[in-house]
Amino acid sequence: MRRRRSVLLSAGAVLLALVLVGASSAEIKAHLDGRSKPVALLVAGPTPTQPPAALPAPTAAPEPTAPEPTATLGPRAQKAIAEAERNGADISFTLLDRTTGKVVSGGDPVPFPIASVAKLFIADDLLLETSRKRAVLSPEDRRGLELMLRSSDDFPADEFWIRDGRNEIVTRVAERYKLTSTTPPYNGDWWNTMSTTADLVRYYAKLLDGTGGLPRDQANIIMANLAASTPLGIDGYPQRFGIPDGLFAEPVAVKQGWMCCWAPDKQVHLTTGVIGSDRRYVIAMASMQPVDEATARDTLTQALKTMFPGGRI
């Protein structure tokens, strides 16, 4: 009898459980019909939260752009030229930035005698003929070429000038380099070759980029000798005026020129060359002034110092 009662109780318990489950199902259905969201029944664990959106990385402020070195040169060049003119100098100046192509110039643009700067043309023509196997340079010739370019020796210049065609040298170089304001000397003396600072700057630029016709290895001979310019010329004349003393903080390669008694009492002085380890800048400056030699040299040096107060472009 006790076993039967136990069975009956178990059956009753099962029936009660079925009733409860049915009631719960009815309640769930009622909630669904009422469009309630069955969140508690459908989610087994905690609801993950959406991570916050990452903030954009801060943008760095742009680096300030350094002005071009020649950006403010114009007013300083005008000041330098005005100072020289007040001291009685007829002065001309041209600078080329080979990186940007910018040209700064001032003063009198008319042609003038270029004195020993004509030795550049003599060397250029000679080296071109050598590269074309039309001329052979002896060891003595090469030594003379070095002295002519480094120390402005007149004697090898005279020899090469006579040997290679005199005025025709200037004509050939002017044609190759398209120097429209450069002409042979009126009397056949190389130091009276006429040119302008603009043409001289053009000559250097085309010598460096190879568009003047001289092969680069030959052009490098000229530039290496100009970089080794001596403090004194072969005749003892000071060669540091102008570019070397004015741009004392820069590496330079220069050809200087000087002579007296032009028209008829003026000192003629030129300082020309290439500035910077990358050969970025080309400068030519010339003056004619009725003063003594030392004053004429100082005129060009002071003009460059006014343009470039720190000795650097």
**Residue 4 within a domain:** no
Q: How many domains would you assign to the chain?
A: 1
Looking up tokens 């990385």 gives 57
Instruction: Using alpha carbons only, give the angle 245, 257, 246 rounded to the nearest 5 degrees.
Output: 15
Q: How far apart are CA 158 and CA 20, in angstroms?
A: 128
**Residue 187 within a domain:** yes
Radius of gyration for the chain, computed over Cα atoms and rounded to the nearest angstrom: 43
Q: What is the reported pLDDT for 54? A: 59
**Residue 146 within a domain:** yes
**Residue 26 within a domain:** no
What is the helix (H) or strand (E) element at residue 286, kind and residue range?
A: strand 281-289
Q: What is the reported pLDDT for 68? A: 86
Q: What is the reported pLDDT for 151? A: 99
Backbone angles phi, psi at 171, to 5 degrees: -60, -45
Per-residue pLDDT of the chain (313 residues; tens, 9 = 90+): 333 343 333 434 333 333 333 444 444 344 434 444 443 333 344 445 555 555 566 565 556 566 788 999 999 999 999 999 999 999 999 999 999 999 999 999 999 999 999 999 999 999 999 999 999 999 999 999 999 999 999 999 999 999 999 999 999 999 999 999 999 999 999 999 999 999 999 999 999 999 999 999 999 999 999 999 999 999 999 999 999 999 999 999 999 999 999 999 999 999 999 999 999 999 999 999 999 999 999 999 999 999 999 999 9
Give the domain range for residue 102.
73-307
Q: What is the reported pLDDT for 280? A: 99
Q: What is the reported pLDDT for 44? A: 41
Q: Is 270 exposed, middle or buried (0-12, 13-18, 19+ CB in 10 A)?
A: buried
Backbone angles phi, psi at 227, to 5 degrees: -70, -20
Q: How far apart are CA 144 and CA 290, in angstroms?
A: 33
Q: What is the reported pLDDT for 66? A: 64
Q: How far apart are CA 216 and CA 123, in angstroms?
A: 14
Say if CB 228 and CB 290 are below 8 A apart.
no
Between helix 119-131 and helix 139-150 the angle, nearest 10°, is: 150
Q: What is the reported pLDDT for 61? A: 58
Check which CATH number belongs to the domain holding 253 and give it. 3.40.710.10
**Residue 159 within a domain:** yes
Q: What is the reported pLDDT for 133? A: 96
Single-letter code of the amino acid located at 285: M
**Residue 3 within a domain:** no
Q: What is the reported pLDDT for 69? A: 86
Q: What is the reported pLDDT for 104? A: 98
**pTM over 0.85, yes/no:** no
**Residue 160 within a domain:** yes
User: Where would I find the H helices in 210-254?
Assistant: 216-227, 243-246
**Residue 19 within a domain:** no
For 213, the 3-state DSSP assignment is coil
